[in-house]
Each structure stands twice: as C-alpha cells, then as structure tokens.
Amino acid sequence: MAKQAHGEALAQEAALMQKLGLQLAELQEMGLSELRDKHLELFGEEARSKNLPYLRKRLAFRLQERVNGGLSPAARARIEELAPPTLPEGRRRAKVQCEIPPRMPPSKIRDPRLPAPGTVLSREHKGFAHEVEVLEQGFRYRGRDYRSLSAIAKEIAGTPWNGFTFFGLGKERVDGQA
C-alpha cells in the first residue's frame, strides 16, 4: 500500500513538473503585452519593466516558486534579522531612489599605491628616460598634467598600459628593485 502511495506521489510530482516545463516554454513564446498580462496575473500588479528577458526570468521564478515553494521560514527569519522592514506591515514601499553621496575630497580617495605628492617616478623605455611627477591630484609629464598614469604610459609606449604596472607601482619586488 505504501509503495502505491509513493508511486502516486511521484506521478503527481512528475505531472506538476511537466506542467511547469510547458509554462516556462510558453514564456519564451510570449510577447511584451502577454508577459505583462501574465505578470499582473501572477503578482497582482502591473509590471513596471518592458525588458523581455527580465520579465521572462521574473515570471519563471514566480512559476517555479509556486510549484516548489518559496523561501524556508528559517531563510525568511534570517532576512528579517539582517534587514528588518522599515514600514509597518501592510504598507508598500515606495520606489527607492538612489541618492548620490557627496563627492569625497581627493585626499581621501587617493590610491594607496601612489607615492607622496612631489615624488618623481622614473622609467626607461626604448632607451629614453621618462620622469613623471606625482601631484596631489594627478601627474605631470613633460610639463603637461594628466589624470592617470595609464594615459602617460600609453603616450610613452604607444599602446595601452596599466600605469601602475608600467611604472612598477603597487607590488613589492622580490629582488629589491622599485
């Protein structure tokens, strides 16, 4: 008797999975208006997006969630613990708008691989010596100011280079050379 019940359960699960597979395949054939209608049906609200791949993924996730269940109670509890809701239950969150943080002063965002302002970086390339002065903001090469070492390295070598690599910054050499 137990084998028969087990077999019936497997048959029901197989039927559910087959139905899910058909529904997922249907999503690939739907156009935008059909996807938006399906979104309204599955989520109870209109889709804000008109991005077809995104809508298909979102709807596919919802269909799978309905068949396989959502997050476990333990996972939901952990989410609540890490990010408790800021609104009373039942109220929807307004669309979140990102605020751009105020620009940090250049002295605080200075790359730690750079030597102190006033330092002169030297590099020999194809028989010529090249010197670059490190400024508080940027670099000076041949009397011209640059925002990056990479731009200077490209001018010297004629091909794109990582400026830190070109001038030997950012890594300690085993042989003691800088």
* Whole-number pLDDT of residue 178: 43
Return d(Cα 9, Cα 1) in angstroms, integer: 13
Show the DSSP H helices in the chain as ranges.
Answer: 2-29, 32-43, 52-68, 73-82, 149-157, 163-166
Q: What is the mean pLDDT of each run of 10 residues along the chain (178 residues)?
A: 68 84 90 92 90 91 82 82 68 54 57 88 91 92 92 92 88 46
The answer to whether residue 68 is domain-embedded is: yes
Q: What is the pTM of this model?
A: 0.41
- Which structural domain, as residue segments, surrounds residue 22? 7-82
Residue 116's identity, in one-letter code, is: A
Q: Specify the pLDDT at position 92.
A: 56
- Assigned domain for 27 exists: yes
Which phi and psi (to 5°) does residue 7 adopt?
Answer: -65, -40
Position 16 scores a pLDDT of 82
- Regarding whether 130 and 77 lie in a shared domain, the answer is no
* pLDDT of res. 3: 58
Distance CA 76, CA 64 (A): 18
> Nearest-CA neighbor of 96 among 48, 152, 144?
48
> Are 127 and 71 found together in one domain?
no
* Count of domains forming the chain: 2
The answer to the question of residue 46 being in a domain is yes
Establish if 33 belongs to a structural domain: yes
> How confident is the model at residue 75, as a pLDDT?
83
